Every structure is written in structure tokens, then in C-alpha cells.
């Protein structure tokens, strides 16, 4: 993604309150005619970043200095808005305050601030800040020659530090195990053999050993354990146990709401991940309960409402597609259009790319080919350099299928050759490119026969991650999740 594309995505992700704050900052500085403000207005009006229009506006001047300053100012404004709202920002400010006090020799005030940091960090389980506070406290004690501190009290402080370090080390090792498990889940085909099964069981045993040596339980360690369990059950084909673990995870978040209440986006993406796993295991009926969480009051702040509604829309579309409810797709889209008619929506660029694709696919499945094409063409023609390679490949593939549905066989010949050349040069996602090339060859055979029959996908060649991407295409030949491609049932 280009630097201007990053800035464009950042501007279009701003909520109304954030835009208002930024505009007020510029007006107070009385620099409405400055280059960076003109660049902001230009990018805000563009649906996709248009470098040519930007260069034309700046004429012989380089827009790069304005871009750099605008980016830095936007980040600064967002940082100022966040200051004091989240526990992390409060702790960060208190740490900075304590360093300033210590550097100026105000040791009593520094000690008082460090005590506040540790108290707040322990309450919200921000153990990294506890470590930083203890290290700063050690520096303070050394500078004051351990004034009014007994040796026993000093040893207790050392034990406190050792416990926090042990907890963080345990958490890091636990996270690494989970990441290995998650990577294998998404990017490897696990076949039914004893070696792979033993490797999976070894990971479970290592996780159990880490849990038994945990210095003290915390919300993060419990959350990570439940994530690990749910992933293990998914890989084992035990979807019922995985679903039960998801409900336990939801209950854990409910019981520790005070820990994450200042950053609800954290819980939002946890729910989003659960829904993605339910979709991957084709438990479509179970998705409804979790989609309702995305529509709850937890995410009704201005910045999160748009994101939560957009994610709920995506998952409802995935659910309807999985349940073969083709007409339901149009009903879901109609509700979404009414939402968008009432207000402007600020969502991350990756979510926008997905929602656009899902709507185009829905139109395709309902044989509204021209409407589907009006959604696909702008992304390919205007935003090709600014979206991930796998999404661009899916958009190209859908456009080929649309032209086949329209019977544009002569144009399809040109498009097939062009997309084939692009895939052969593609260095990212080589497995996906290889599979799509096979699909294209089958599509070309249908074109030569003037047939609108859709080609099947060679699922046996795909990793789990690639299968989830390929499922987004309206193609036959899908292997049900019940077949348990991980082979550990």
C-alpha cells in the first residue's frame, strides 16, 4: 500500500467526532490555506486515492512534505483524543510524569506516582506497566540510598518483581504455543497420520505444563487458554466442544468487563474471530447468537458503532451464503442500504473491501450481473494498488465469472489471458495463485464451448486459509467441513 493510500485510509476511517476535532485544531492554528489542509480536503473527497489529481492540484510543488505533516498531525490529534480515555494512555502518562519528577529530584512525589501506577496496572492486569514502574522504582531507591527502607522490605520488592517477570514470561511462552497452533490451523493441510496427531498432542501437553506453573491466574491467561482449547477442538473436528468453549470465552469477558471496558474494540475483534471460526467449520446456525453481540450496547460509541454494524453485516451475509439463502442476501443488503442512507460510515479499508465483494457476489448469485459489475470494476480499476493481493485476485476472479454469466465470451478470452499473466507473476499467496490458474483453465474450456457452466475448485490442493478465501467465490465443488480435513477426529 502506497503512503498516500495509507493516509487516505486513515482519513476515511475517522469518525465524525474525530474529524470535528481535527478541523478545530486546524482552525485554531489559522492554517486553513496550508498545503496539508488542502491535501486533507482533497483526500477526503476522493473515494480512492488519486495520485494524478493530487499532483495536478499541487502543480510544480511536491505533495510529499504536506503528506508527511498531515499524517503526523492526524496521529497527534488521535493520540490527544485517546489521552486519558484508555487505561493504557493513563498509565503511559503517569510513567512519563514519574520520570519527570525523578529527573528533577522530587522523589516523594515520584514514589507516590509510581504507587498509583502499580495499583492501577494490577487492577486492570497491565503487567508490562508494573514491570516498568518497578524498574523506575529501583532507580529511585538507588538514587536515595534506600532511605527509610529495610532489607526485608527490599527483598519483598524483589520477590514482587520476580513474580511479575515470571507471569509475563509464562504468558509469552503461552502466546507462542497458541500462535504455532493457529498458524498450523490456517496454513497447513493436516492429514490423518500419527506424526501430525502426536505433534498436536505435544502442543496440548506443553500448554498444560505452562498453566500449572503460572504464578497467579489472570484474565489474559484464562482468555488465552480458552482460545487455545477452541482452536484445538476445531482442528480435532470436535465442533460441539469448540462451540462450548466459545460460550465460556464470552462468559469470561462478561465476568471481567472492568478489565477491557475502556477498549471495547478488543472484545469486538474477539467476537469477530469466533464468527470467522464458526463460518470456517460451517456452524452457520450458531452464528446468530454471536452476531447479536456485535449489535449490543457494548459497541454503541461513535467510533465503534460503524465498525460493529459493518462486521455484523459481513457475517450475516456469510451466514446466508453458507445456508444457501440467496434471496435473503438481497434483504440483508436492503437493510444495510437504509442504514447507510441515514448517515456516513467510517470503517477500515479492509472491511470496506470485504463488504463490497460480498455485495457483488450476492448480486451475481441473484443473476444481477450488471449491478455486480458496477461494484467490482471500481475496485479493480481504481484501488488495485491499495488492497491485499489475495483480495484483488478474488475480485478479478469474480469479474471473470460475471462476464461468463453475461455471455461476453470474446471479452472473456482477453480477460482470462490478462489475469493468467498476472497470477503467474504474483509472488504473494503462490498456493492461491496456482489454484486459481487451474480454475481459469477450466473456465477457458467452458468459454470455448460457449458454456456458462461454473468450474469446480480443486479443494484438495488448498490450505485451510486458502479454502476460506476460495469459499468466497460462487463456485461448486465445496468440501463440507464435516469431512474434517484436519484428520484428528
Alpha carbons 283 and 276: distance in angstroms, whole number: 10
Looking at every residue in the chain, the average pLDDT score rounds to: 84
The pLDDT score that the predictor gives to residue 379 is 86
- pLDDT average, residue stretch 323-335: 91
The pLDDT score that the predictor gives to residue 194 is 65
Alpha carbons 268 and 299: distance in angstroms, whole number: 8
342 confidence band (pLDDT: 50, 70, 90): low
Alpha carbons 64 and 54: distance in angstroms, whole number: 10
Digit-coded pLDDT (tens) for 64-98 = 888 899 999 999 888 887 766 778 888 998 999 99
Global pTM? 0.78
3-state secondary structure of 489: coil
- DSSP letter string over 368-406? -HHHHHHHHHHHHHHSGGGS-HHHHHHHHHHHHHHHHHH
Digit-coded pLDDT (tens) for 125-184 = 888 899 999 889 888 888 888 877 788 888 888 888 888 888 888 888 999 999 988 888
3-state secondary structure of 1: coil
CA distances in angstroms from 463 to 198, 248, 332, 485, listed in the order given: 20, 29, 30, 10
The pLDDT score that the predictor gives to residue 485 is 39
Any idea what the Cα angle at residue 351 is, between residues 396 and 469, rounded to 5°?
A: 45
Please choose, from the candidates 159, 148, 160, 174, the residue with its C-alpha nearest in 3D space to the C-alpha of residue 121: 160
Element (H, E) at 214: none
**Cα-to-chain-centroid distance, residue 88:** 20
Q: Are 287 and 278 in contact (CB under 8 A)?
A: yes
Amino acid at each position: 500500500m502506497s503512503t498516500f493510500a495509507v493516509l487516505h485510509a486513515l482519513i476515511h476511517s475517522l469518525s465524525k467526532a474525530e474529524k470535528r476535532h481535527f478541523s478545530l485544531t486546524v482552525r485554531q492554528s489559522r492554517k486553513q490555506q496550508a498545503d496539508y489542509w488542502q491535501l486533507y480536503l482533497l483526500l477526503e473527497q476522493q473515494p480512492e486515492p488519486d495520485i494524478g489529481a493530487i499532483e495536478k492540484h499541487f502543480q510544480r510543488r511536491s505533495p510529499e512534505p504536506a503528506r508527511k505533516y498531515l499524517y503526523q498531525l492526524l496521529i497527534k490529534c488521535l493520540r490527544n483524543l485517546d489521552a486519558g480515555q484508555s487505561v493504557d494512555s493513563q498509565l503511559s502518562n503517569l510513567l512519563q510524569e514519574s520520570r519527570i519528577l525523578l529527573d528533577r529530584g522530587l522523589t516523594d512525589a515520584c514514589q507516590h506516582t509510581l504507587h498509583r501506577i502499580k495499583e492501577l496496572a494490577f487492577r486492570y492486569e497491565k503487567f508490562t506497566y508494573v514491570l516498568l514502574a518497578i524498574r523506575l522504582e529501583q532507580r529511585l531507591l538507588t538514587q536515595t540510598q534506600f532511605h527509610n527502607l529495610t532489607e526485608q522490605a527490599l527483598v519483598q520488592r524483589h520477590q514482587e518483581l520476580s513474580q511479575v517477570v515470571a507471569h509475563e514470561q509464562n504468558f509469552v511462552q503461552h502466546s507462542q504455543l497458541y500462535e504455532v497452533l493457529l498458524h498450523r490451523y490456517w496454513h497447513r493441510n493436516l492429514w490423518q497420520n500419527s506424526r501430525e496427531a502426536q505433534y498436536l498432542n505435544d502442543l496440548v501437553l506443553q500448554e498444560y505444563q505452562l498453566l500449572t506453573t503460572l504464578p497467579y491466574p489472570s484474565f489474559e491467561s484464562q482468555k488465552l487458554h480458552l482460545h487455545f482449547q477452541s482452536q484445538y477442538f476445531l482442528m480435532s473436528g470436535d465442533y460441539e466442544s469448540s462451540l462450548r468453549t466459545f460460550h465460556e470465552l464470552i462468559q469470561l469477558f462478561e465476568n471481567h468487563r472492568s478489565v477491557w471496558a475502556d477498549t471495547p474494540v478488543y472484545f469486538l475483534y474477539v467476537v469477530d474471530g469466533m464468527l470467522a471460526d464458526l463460518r470456517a467449520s460451517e456452524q452457520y446456525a450458531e452464528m446468530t447468537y454471536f452476531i447479536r453481540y456485535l449489535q449490543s450496547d457494548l459497541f454503541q460509541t461513535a467510533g465503534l458503532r460503524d465498525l460493529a454494524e459493518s462486521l455484523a453485516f459481513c457475517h450475516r451475509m456469510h451466514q446466508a451464503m453458507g445456508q444457501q439463502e440467496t434471496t435473503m442476501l438481497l434483504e440483508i443488503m436492503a437493510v444495510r442500504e437504509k442504514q447507510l442512507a441515514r448517515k456516513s460510515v467510517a470503517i477500515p479499508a479492509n472491511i470496506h473491501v470485504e463488504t463490497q465483494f460480498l455485495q457483488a457476489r450476492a448480486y451475481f448469485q441473484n443473476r444481477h450481473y450488471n449491478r455486480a459489475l458496477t461494484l467490482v470494476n471500481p475496485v479493480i480499476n481504481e484501488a488495485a494498488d491499495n488492497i491485499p493481493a489475495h483480495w484483488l485476485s478474488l475480485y478479478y476472479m469474480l469479474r471473470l465469472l460475471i462476464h461468463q454469466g453475461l455471455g461476453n465470451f470474446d471479452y472473456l478470452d482477453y480477460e482470462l489471458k490478462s489475469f493468467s499473466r498476472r497470477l503467474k507473476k504474483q509472488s504473494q499467496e503462490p498456493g492461491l495463485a496456482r489454484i486459481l490458474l487451474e480454475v481459469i483453465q477450466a473456465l477457458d474450456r467452458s468459454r470455448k464451448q460457449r458454456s456458462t457452466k461454473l468450474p469446480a475448485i480443486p479443494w484438495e490442493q488448498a490450505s485451510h486459509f486458502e479454502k476460506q478465501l476460495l469459499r468466497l467465490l460462487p463456485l461448486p465443488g465445496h468440501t463440507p467441513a464435516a469431512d474434517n480435513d484436519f484428520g484428528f477426529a
